[in-house]
Structure 1
């Protein structure tokens, strides 16, 4: 096989006789070795201009025989037999106007019967295409689609906007279902658990369903299990679970829930593996001594691939920033000009709202993008759009590329071997990274360049904790009835049942650490008289009230595996400052100003003894940053504040405040005193201090800068859906108060 592929790649033209020989080999393999026939066919299509075109009718029949129907029209080939034409028409979808390949059509037939479907298929399979096909049939009245990230949900929303005449699209827990239309709920698992207005569910779709597993150390696995289990028990809907590279699931689950586990390795692209590691093992295994050597190997490789698109996997946001800037420095040093003459309208927004000096501007101007969990959602969405539109050639990213977006590239560079600081990439993660090489219907062949040893192959078995219960967390167990609990977990369950029922109901509904919440109940009760002034606030807390509540969350609502590197003191200061200034840019500038002040203090006092220095903390802080340039300082604090906004302000702190609010309300009612109400402040923090009827728009990837401008143009008495209609009908986005980037974002809603 490799010899034949090598022959194809090295020939300039392949004559009639050898074209026929290769086509015959494919024909023979179709019945004896399907995966090899697919691999060889894809390599033929990637080099189609080399082959004798007089044999194209045979090629069309081979494509049809393998079931890769979309490639027939892509290459403008014609089927000759009536039978083949009929089969091609059978694989065409009248709902979405596309041709499905054979495995997709088979899956669709399964989805149309009474059984539930659990699918394991490669990234390039086109699993998400079937989601649109299902929606387009209009067969189901109420559909829930759960995806792991808001970015994926927004991408799905954009694809399904064309069905808004038939479906009301619901993306926030504040929206009510339509009684007139069908309903399409695009939600994270956490939002499914928080949503109180489901009346019925006909179908639930879970993308990346491997996140149900308790054995992959995903902090959101509990929420996904509880959401799935609740919907199954309450509404008994049909379900469709999809994910990549999974070998099996919990034994007995499929039988209990009348499901088919369907695993296919069928792929419409081929991935070539290039080993960069073994030839340079002695250098790459010593990352401190030969750090620059390995980086230069990467940069030279990227330079050689500059006419194609490449995704570079990095372990963390800090690594993304570091490597992308080092690559830019490499290009400038070698006088390589990758400046492009295409519109990058995000740059103007950055200059106005973040900084004219932020390095992302120079990166984008040189066709380099970055993607990680620290960036604001609208920025990451836009960068992926630019990459998919071929405006960017290089994308430095973290594990968000595994599960956070739908994009691929001709080349994938597996550069770092960990997720975060010390979690090794396993074979499952590696397979998902590798799966991004090649793009369906664009690149027949992708390449993965391994700068590390490939992790050892291992079977991936997805356990489903609410069913298998080995292991099962307290947070899932509390949602089960006694008769659902397996004998080996009854002792664990009995301890949960010792919690008073009214408290247990609150703890269950909150969906986070069971005994962490129990400890908060106990701490408030023990000190109630003293802490009542600290918990009874409404609207905006003072500093001490906020400090007390966030400290409760910090001490009792964080899992052991979560990082506490930020520190509770800094978190409280940041949150309080954010509440006062309502601006992430102000927080960034305040940090920079304070560091410069500390550096100046250090310079003025560095010759004194420690006993003579009055503000030692300020002195040490200044010493820490004294060797850094203004550029490095600004980069660090932009990254840090974006991370705080994304992880803490938009996710953790609102959740903590919601949990603590429900607990203090319960205890205050017991004591017969007025409880506090944190809902207003929590919503303000989560939604960047937007007016309530505009917060839905932030889900659509519209920057808060644009939403704060539009406040003046939108009547305050309109509800969320009316606001969207008002913007569309009145074309509010044409107003000159918006820059081009903001106008473009409004047009996408």
Structure 2
């Protein structure tokens, strides 16, 4: 029998125990043939899902097959049935100092890393690439390690995992304010932007880049984040530290030729996946109707991928009409808290009442983390997500529905589609994942990642090249950099300091500032917190010259509008009051839920991230021009920090990264240190929540779940 015949046999609902020996015999033939070994491994995984049909003898055969295909972790539940030879192999796949068992691919990588080799691993989501990081830490060979992850959500997930295993002996550093300790193993868990800002990483022993494919400028919608990642890698690699890069579905890598490393592209998998393709049209009712039909038939945890927040909200609204209110009390408690602290008409509130979570860029970070925990615990059955979830965060999903064939406004490429597909199934939980693709999938394509520092062309961004030393530039790039510096109105120092902004844009702003200051207009010269005209003047330059397109996409078209958002958020009512004011400003016929979604994106993407970056860059430009004209220099630092922390004490705002929504963090503020984050976290861990009357029962439960993870 061939692979497909055995697969269909295994999938039969009426499969009987008496058939298992014959099935295992057929699988053994597949496993022992080099040509069909990978298909044989897939069949072994599918058989594990039907293990309850195996008798004692068949279980021993299955255990032997599990060992043959290298899936040693799957021997644990049937360890009593394992023969001595298989048991020995099982024990030999344990890493030093860590309670875990490797499968064969993990063991191969582990021994290469242990021997001091640099490794670039490309393998599917289910392979367990992150366990190798834990195993390297457990060796206690390295005193200072850095793990670079693409999002703050992944910082929190990684921190939680490592805190659970290594809290007593490791110092976990995730925030810019935290510092290393001489008496502990120091592990920095940082985004690329935070790596770039640190000055204490020159003696790193070992570093990791998660989702390394983001080095390629073509692979990230935000080019500046890709540039920052390349510079972060370059900064860490310059220390000669050993490295481990990991990511999915890459067949080749270019631009890292100056480093010695083992590139290991692998199709090894620990779960099996069935793909059902419907080829439905984008427009019309066929696709939404099929989604509703699937949702009604699927009983296990299901991720639904949508192209963006707008599509996710529409899908949630449609499912709410067909799915009954959840009986899980945690759904009602979460929904009630969301209604009170965000807005009762926010679509995410009603979705939660029906056991549906939303995960996109408009959902506050701590609430995203809470929804992922609910999903993994089985409290909610559906999690509607965009690429915010697909890129790295671990979920336990039996099913994935690919509702849209796009990512934002662009068609999904094959790489992203395979990454989404890889979310179906979970090692040890769901042996067989199901993927339902409503539109036609993209064509198969080879994925090659290019690092632009090592592959410099005329297209390499000048903002990246300006950050490199002369010896690291190609002849072409050196000429380009020299031309920019020689023709620049600003100094090379300022151009480099504002590396996230194109030099032409910086010079345009500088000439505007020069004209204003030369004519005696000093509105832009302020310190601390600005007066209203000063804030509007600064915001006008940001909207008109630095961040216009991004802000216009969020409905901000003038400096006065940006200043309104900042002022409203800074008032005593905080985020809840700000959202109330936004909702009250809705025009007739305008969706309040859409307004709330948009406002939350402004808070997350603009106020606490892009605006402080732009204001810092503007400060550097004005400072140089002011010195040239011999007028007072501005200092926007205090206001930048305030906005970045949403006008809360910075240690309290930082709790959002640890899974505590800022509304709850504000209630905890009187009981916590406001000057030292490590002290704040220590106090939070010991806090007796029963003594804080301001907290609701839901809030106590949420904070309690965070306390055990810090």
User: Given the two structures, how large is their TM-score scaled by the length of structure 1?
Assistant: 0.88
Match of 1:643 in 2: 601
Match of 1:688 in 2: 646
Match of 2:443 in 1: 456
**Does 2:203 correspond to 1:246?**
no
Alignment of 1:10-21 (within 5 A): 10=12, 12-14=14-16, 16=18, 19-20=21-22
Distance (Å, rounded) in 1 between the aligned partners of 2:319 and 2:303: 13
Alignment of 1:234-313 (within 5 A): 235-250=239-254, 253=256, 255-277=257-279, 281=280, 284-285=281-282, 287=283, 290-291=284-285, 293-305=286-298, 307-313=299-305
Distance (Å, rounded) in 2 between the aligned partners of 1:194 and 1:246: 29
Distance (Å, rounded) in 1 between the aligned partners of 2:107 and 2:115: 13
Change in CA separation of 1:531 and 1:339 when aligned onto 2, cut-off 3 Å: farther
**Does 2:542 correspond to 1:553?**
yes
* Equivalent pair of 1:690/1:707 in contact (CA under 8 Å): no
Match of 1:618 in 2: none
Change in CA separation of 1:53 and 1:232 when aligned onto 2, cut-off 3 Å: same
Match of 1:722 in 2: 679
Structure 1 residue matching 2:417: 3-state secondary structure: helix
* Equivalent pair of 2:651/2:673 in contact (CA under 8 Å): no
Match of 1:316 in 2: 308
Distance (Å, rounded) in 1 between the aligned partners of 2:338 and 2:550: 34
Change in CA separation of 1:530 and 1:134 when aligned onto 2, cut-off 3 Å: farther
Distance (Å, rounded) in 2 between the aligned partners of 1:227 and 1:642: 29
Match of 2:619 among 654, 661, 680: 661
Deviation at 1:560, TM superposition (A): 7.1
Aligned residues: 696
Match of 1:468 among 455, 458, 461: 455
**Does 2:578 correspond to 1:594?**
no
* Equivalent pair of 1:661/1:678 in contact (CA under 8 Å): yes
Match of 2:209 among 201, 206, 210: 206
**Does 2:517 correspond to 1:542?**
no
**Does 2:320 correspond to 1:328?**
yes
Match of 1:603 in 2: none
Change in CA separation of 1:77 and 1:582 when aligned onto 2, cut-off 3 Å: same
* Equivalent pair of 2:271/2:427 in contact (CA under 8 Å): yes
Alignment of 1:20-169 (within 5 A): 20=22, 22-32=24-34, 33-76=36-79, 78-81=81-84, 83-162=85-164, 163-169=166-172
Match of 1:227 among 232, 238, 243: 232
Deviation at 1:455, TM superposition (A): 0.1
Deviation at 1:582, TM superposition (A): 5.8
* Equivalent pair of 1:312/1:413 in contact (CA under 8 Å): yes
Distance (Å, rounded) in 2 between the aligned partners of 1:120 and 1:138: 25
Alignment of 1:184-195 (within 5 A): 184-195=187-198
Match of 1:350 among 317, 338, 349: 338
Structure 1 residue matching 2:530: 3-state secondary structure: coil
Change in CA separation of 1:741 and 1:194 when aligned onto 2, cut-off 3 Å: farther
Bigger mean CA offset, 337-346 vs 393-402: 337-346
Structure 2 residue matching 1:699: 3-state secondary structure: helix
Please report the RMSD computed on the Cα atoms of aligned residues, expressed in angstroms: 2.4
Superposed CA offset, 1:539-578 (max 9, x none): 2122322222223233433497886452332333222332
* Equivalent pair of 2:542/2:614 in contact (CA under 8 Å): yes
* Equivalent pair of 1:409/1:436 in contact (CA under 8 Å): yes
Bigger mean CA offset, 181-190 vs 384-393: 181-190
Distance (Å, rounded) in 2 between the aligned partners of 1:414 and 1:693: 39
User: Given the two structures, how large is their TM-score scaled by the length of structure 2?
Assistant: 0.93
Superposed CA offset, 1:244-291 (max 9, x none): 00011006x2x52111101111001011011222xxx4xx25x0xx23
* Equivalent pair of 1:170/1:177 in contact (CA under 8 Å): yes
Superposed CA offset, 1:186-214 (max 9, x none): 11111111123335111111110110101
Deviation at 1:309, TM superposition (A): 1.2
* Equivalent pair of 2:208/2:243 in contact (CA under 8 Å): yes
* Equivalent pair of 2:489/2:507 in contact (CA under 8 Å): no
* Equivalent pair of 2:27/2:44 in contact (CA under 8 Å): no
**Does 2:563 correspond to 1:572?**
yes
Match of 2:494 in 1: 506
Superposed CA offset, 1:414-451 (max 9, x none): 1111111x200110010001000111110110011111
Match of 1:699 among 649, 657, 660: 657
Distance (Å, rounded) in 1 between the aligned partners of 2:563 and 2:444: 44
Structure 1 residue matching 2:434: 3-state secondary structure: strand
Distance (Å, rounded) in 1 between the aligned partners of 2:392 and 2:38: 28
Distance (Å, rounded) in 1 between the aligned partners of 2:249 and 2:690: 43
* Equivalent pair of 2:467/2:499 in contact (CA under 8 Å): no
Bigger mean CA offset, 512-521 vs 126-135: 512-521
Deviation at 1:705, TM superposition (A): 1.7
